[in-house]
Amino acid sequence: MKKILATLLVGLAAASAGCSNLERSRDLANPNVPPAVTAVQVCSNCHGIDGNSISPNFPRLAGQQPAYFVAQLENFRGQHRSDPAGFEYMWGLSHHLTDDQIKGLADYFSKQVPQPNAQVDAKQMAAGKEIYEKGIPAKEAPPCITCHGPKAEGLASFPRLANQHQDYLVKQLQVFQRTDERPNTPMTQIAHLISHDEMESVAGYLQAFPHDKK
């Protein structure tokens, strides 16, 4: 029995000692690991294999705009985006990613199919829809639809918001409103015009974004 166990151990060690397993690697410092491998072996642990994360602690990435995705990962890598979700989770993970790997990850997640997310109550849905499509004229807050699109699918550097987690969206709006942790975005100015309840409503509407609009 002991010989079998020892052989098993030595065999496993020899099989992987010093060599990398590029098809199923979780190494984030190896530029040769294909982005699709990193996506499913590492990113998937929080964001889901298909980019539809389950926990609202982690944003959904399925169908995300590649340009926005690349910009965010570059900001994490360069430590320019310092909101808690950024530095607690993403600074270290993105530290050694190459430009090509980042582009590859953006490509992988942009091609994943967004799945419906949890529903919110009808009152919040209606209020959120109103804000998303018409803004808040009394506060001169512009409609979200202008940049993020009629299907909330985003465009280039404007992120996709449809089916994103409500909690994540609210927290990011608060980051824009209360901090300078995500600099150089028009959202800093816009978020100052929105109350917490309005954030909850529009984020709830986006989480439960109507399926027939896809």
Site track 134-173 with other proteins (rule: CB under 8 A), x = hit: ---------------------------------x---x--
Mapped onto helix, strand or coil, the DSSP state of residue 155 is strand
Q: Which is nearer to other proteins, 45 or 189 (CB)?
A: 45
CB atoms within 10 A of CB 34: 14
The minimum distance between CB 158 and other proteins, in angstroms, equals 25
Please report how many Cα atoms fall inside a 13 Å half-sphere around the Cα of residue 71, on the Cβ side. 13
Q: Which residues of 76-89 are buried (b: 16+ CB within 10 A; e: fewer)?
A: bbeeebbbebbeee
Residues 173-212 interacting with other proteins (rule: CB under 8 A)? none
Window of 24-32, 132-140, 150-158, 184-192 that interacts with other proteins by CB under 8 A: 24-32
Give the shortest CB-73-to-other proteins separation in angstroms: 14
- Closest by CA to 126, choosing from 193, 49, 205, 60, is 205
**Pattern 48-77, binding to other proteins, x per CB under 8 A?**
-x----xxxx--------------------
From the centroid of its chain, how far is CA 141?
A: 25
Buried b (16+ CB within 10 A) or exposed e, 90-121: bbebbeebeeebbbbbbebbbebebeebeebe
Residue 80 near other proteins by CB under 8 A: no
In contact, 79 and 87? CB cutoff 8 Å? yes
SS3 at position 136: strand
Q: Which of residues 105-134 bind other proteins (CB under 8 A)?
A: 118
Residues binding other proteins: what is the number (CB under 8 A)?
A: 44
Member of 34, 42, 116, 130 binding other proteins (CB under 8 A) = 42
> Least distance in Å: CB of 98 to other proteins?
13
Please name which of 45, 35, 50 lies closest in space to residue 105, comparing C-alpha atoms: 35
Q: Using the rule CB under 8 A, which residue among 31, 78, 84, 150 binds other proteins?
A: 84
Considering the complex, what minimum distance in angstroms separates the CB of residue 203 from other proteins? Answer: 14
- Contact residues: other proteins, CB under 8 A: 1-2, 5-6, 8-9, 12-13, 15-21, 24-29, 40-42, 44-46, 49, 54-57, 84, 87-89, 91-93, 95-96, 118, 167, 171
